[in-house]
Amino acid sequence: MIMPLSLFTHHAAPKGSIHFSYTLKVSLRAKFARLKITPHGGLVVVVPPGFNKKNIASLLLHHEQWIKKVTAKFDAQRHVTLPLSENGLPLSVCFPDFAESWTVIYTDTGSAGVELIEQQGNTLSLTGDVADTALSRRLLCSWLKQRAQAHLLSALEKLAAAHGFSYASSGIRLQHSRWGSCSSRRSISLNSKLLFLPEHLVRYIMVHELCHTVHMNHSRSFWSLVHEHDPLFRSNNLEMKSAWKYVPQWVSAQP
């Protein structure tokens, strides 16, 4: 039997201590407890197996100022968000680069399960047990991948043809951090979250992966080829470090 690498559970700090919501990650690779904060994942407490969870409160207290500083930094950088429903799900979904906007309507029918239907006027209708936030989010993320297949893969094909690139296949994934990838078999994968990014950043990621069909590394030759097709690649690459700010918080990678 293969042991799991880590387990995730969500918590709020105990009463009488610092009130930080966090995700607890038990990692077999961890030697000691540590904290990390990501833009959409929030605060994560990573501990080794057997760690006494009663010590988490003091760990959060010790790093209170760091947690507040990093959280405030992310909040300041975050792109203006669209209104959300009471359960944190979107009331609208917009893809700026493709001039596409959808209105999202939730109807609780009291029945089990949730159904998502595209209606006229760019409206998404979710009906059923819409109080089941996890299920509703999964349906929205699945729909997001379908829109990404329609928009991103078509744009990749046109960009490749215009610049003389070829690839074996392409696909869409929903990942936490990787914006794109290219396998040794020249199969390109794009993150559906690219739908929310500005055009020049979407194009940069596509150029980056197309260049990997020629150079499966980050050598000088690779970057020279990237520069040939994107003269502003350095600034674009730097801007990608904070590109998460364009992605709505309700979007999360699904298993």
What is the reported pTM? 0.72
Task: Give the strand pairing for 187-191 and 6-12.
Answer: unpaired
Q: Which residue has the tokens 């949730």?
A: 114
30: left (phi over 0), alpha (psi -120 to 50) or beta: beta
pLDDT in tens, the chain (255 residues): 333 444 445 555 444 445 677 888 888 888 888 888 776 667 888 999 989 988 988 888 888 888 888 877 776 666 656 566 767 899 999 998 888 999 999 999 988 999 999 999 999 999 999 999 999 999 999 999 999 999 999 999 999 999 999 999 999 999 887 999 999 999 999 999 999 999 999 999 999 999 999 999 999 999 999 999 999 999 999 999 888 888 988 886 554
Q: Where are the domains of the chain?
A: 6-77, 92-246
The residues pairing with 106 across neighbouring beta strands, listed in sequence order, are 126
Tell me the backbone φ, ψ of residue 56, rounded to 5 degrees.
-65, -40
Top CATH class, 92-246: alpha beta
Per-position DSSP letters for 58-120, written without gaps between them: HHHHHTHHHHHHHHHHHHHHSPPPPPB-TTS-BSEEEEGGGTEEEEEEEEE-S-SSEEEEEET
Residue 1 is predicted with a pLDDT of 35
User: Around Cβ 249, how many Cβ atoms within 10 Å?
Assistant: 14
CA 59 → CA 8, 13, 19, distances in Å? 18, 11, 12
The residues pairing with 128 across neighbouring beta strands, listed in sequence order, are 108, 114
* 3-class SS of residue 179: coil
